[in-house]
Amino acid sequence: MKQKKRGFTLLELLISIGIIGILFVILFRAYISISQVTFRVQQAKNIQQEMIRISQILQNIADNHSINFEAYSGSQMNDILFLSGEGGNVSITSTGVCISNSPAITGFTQEQKDNPCQLIIINQDESITTITTPSESFISKPYFSIFPTEPNQQIIHNDQIDDFPFLKIKQPSFQVHFNIYTPLYEQGNWINMSSLLFQQFFTLQG
């Protein structure tokens, strides 16, 4: 006599469906988490690449220019850098709606998104070249320090002083610093909180 095969009961089917549902939720959450991490990492990479590109442009400018002391009014720190070279005078400054370096920002206003703060070069003929890429990054207001602060001023350097790197500089130089953010930056949302400090010294022509 053949024995009848036992099928699944309704309870067993419900339990199986429940287990599959739980596994699906776990896998879906894991997928979302991985996607979020990947997105943040990509944003961080984008602004790192942007920083490298900005640094290369500024170094190329520094290699062919020196400080234009005539344009300064005595302060060594300004929101505009005045340089002179064989091709004429140039200045580096910012355009757009720029925030200060000091306070922590919570995000960008619509005005800042529509007119983002960007680093620019004003050329001898008053044409403008944008250094930063609006689609890749926003920046805070840049500040420049020049060394020395006056023409024919002797640059004091001491290799034993580690806290003041500008004292080691043997040629005219400038320092620039600003914060660089992803355009989607939002304080409190770790996915979109990618930002870095850009702070570098550049040696100019003697």
Over residues 140-170, the pLDDT tens digits come to: 999 999 887 777 665 555 554 455 554 555 6
* Those residues with Cβ within 8 angstroms of residue 93's Cβ, 6 or more apart along the chain or in another chain: 79, 80, 81, 119, 120, 122, 142
Q: What is the pLDDT of residue 98?
A: 87
Q: Do the domain assignments include residue 49?
A: yes
Q: Do the domain assignments include residue 2?
A: no
pLDDT at 175 over 70: yes
Q: What is the pLDDT of residue 26?
A: 79
For the chain, give the DSSP string.
-PPPPP---HHHHHHHHHHHHHHHHHHHHHHHHHHHHHHHHHHHHHHHHHHHHHHHHHHHHHHTEEE-GGG--S-SEESSEEEEETTEEEEEEEESBPPPSSSPP-B--HHHHHSB-EEEEE-TTS-EEE-S-TTT-EE---EEEEESSSTT------TT--S-GGGG--S-EEEEEEEEE-TT-BTT-GGG--EEEEEEEEE---
The mean per-residue pLDDT over the stretch 133-138 comes to 84
Q: What is the pLDDT of residue 21?
A: 80
* Those residues with Cβ within 8 angstroms of residue 57's Cβ, 6 or more apart along the chain or in another chain: 131
Residue 120 has phi, psi (to 5 degrees) of -135, 160
Q: What is the pLDDT of residues 119-130, one digit of tens each?
A: 999 998 889 999
For the entire predicted model, the pTM comes to: 0.74
Q: Do the domain assignments include residue 21?
A: yes
**How many separate domains does the chain show?**
1
Task: Report d(CA 34, CA 171) in Å as an integer.
Answer: 48
Task: Report d(CA 170, CA 84) in Å as an integer.
Answer: 19
Q: Do the domain assignments include residue 5?
A: no
Q: Do the domain assignments include residue 128?
A: yes
Task: Report d(CA 13, CA 6) in Å as an integer.
Answer: 13
Q: What is the pLDDT of residues 86-110, one digit of tens each?
A: 888 999 999 998 887 655 566 677 7
CA distances from 129 to 39, 119, 123, 167, 178 (A): 30, 9, 8, 32, 18
Q: Do the domain assignments include residue 61?
A: yes
CB 76 within 8 A of CB 147: yes
pLDDT at 1 over 80: no
Domain of residue 196, residue span: 11-203
Task: Report d(CA 170, CA 165) in Å as an integer.
Answer: 11
Q: Do the domain assignments include residue 4?
A: no
Q: Do the domain assignments include residue 1?
A: no
